Chain A
Amino acid sequence: MTTIEVLYFAWLRERIGAGRERIETAAPDVRALVAQLSAMDDRHAAAFADLAAVRVALDQDLADLDAPLAGVREVAFFPPMTGG
């Protein structure tokens, strides 16, 4: 088990009700972490209900859902970006 910082932005943050939380996990990849988070409570389940609308960054670099978590300290989940 390792401890990682999980960050949420935009509507994911609002649905979960927090911008960050510390999670103990043995998840090998992002998809497994999402499954663990979704099982925590209804808020997390609602936030991750549509994975097509969720993007992820590992240690502040964009990644995909199948990316491994080995050595990663910060995982961020957010909707597609709308800058500019």
Chain B
Amino acid sequence: MGVRVQAEPFDFGAEAAAFGRGLPDVGAIVTFSGIVRADGGAMSEMVIEHYPGMTERALGAIRAEAIARFGLAEALVIHRFGPMRPGDQIMMVATAARHRADAFAAAEFLMDYLKSRAPFWKKETRPDGTDWVAARDEDEAALRRW
């Protein structure tokens, strides 16, 4: 539980169900999953590189910050690395709180931070070749709202 960084696929439904068990004072669970987009068929393969060690450490720190800031009962982050195809699940977060506002906000906080502060890099294969995905200014700007 907590943070998992793995190459293999995960079962989103099973993870969400397991996450929700044994949390008696929780009134709200929010889950999010990120999926590889085909971009109209233009994107055929994605490979995610990461920095073993730092990845777990960064995700652990972001998760701990989310728990403290939003008073969560529990939080889960799963993120994959390696080769993936359109439709595959890349990652998921789950947050559990007494009320929904904190659970929703914490899930957004986790996503905003892990997009720009956890050491993952996406490389995409398209008809014109293979290249690294550039970070977007909006992703960096999204951190300023927290």
Q: Residues of A with Cβ closer than 8 Å to B?
A: 7, 9-11, 13, 57, 60-62, 76, 78-84
Contacts and interface: CB of A to CB of B under 8 A. Distances in A.
Contacts, number: 71
A69 B79 CA distance: 31
Contact of B121 (A57, A60, A81): A81
Contact of B49 (A9, A61, A76, A84): A9
B49 A10 contact: yes
B135 A76 contact: no
Q: Which of B34, B58, B119, B132 has its CB near the most chain A CB atoms (within 10 A)?
A: B119
Nearest to B79: A83
A81 B54 contact: no
A81 B53 contact: no
B57 interface: yes
| Interface residue SS majority, chain B | mixed
A79 B132 CA distance: 9
Interface residues of B, number: 28
B34 A82 contact: no
18 contacts: A10-B132, A60-B53, A76-B51, A76-B119, A78-B51, A79-B132, A80-B116, A81-B117, A81-B120, A81-B135, A82-B120, A82-B122, A82-B134, A82-B135, A83-B115, A84-B34, A84-B90, A84-B120
B123 interface: yes
B118 A81 contact: yes
Contacts of A7: 51
Given A11-B132, A60-B51, 10 more contacts: A7-B51, A62-B117, A76-B51, A79-B132, A81-B120, A82-B121, A82-B133, A82-B134, A83-B50, A83-B120
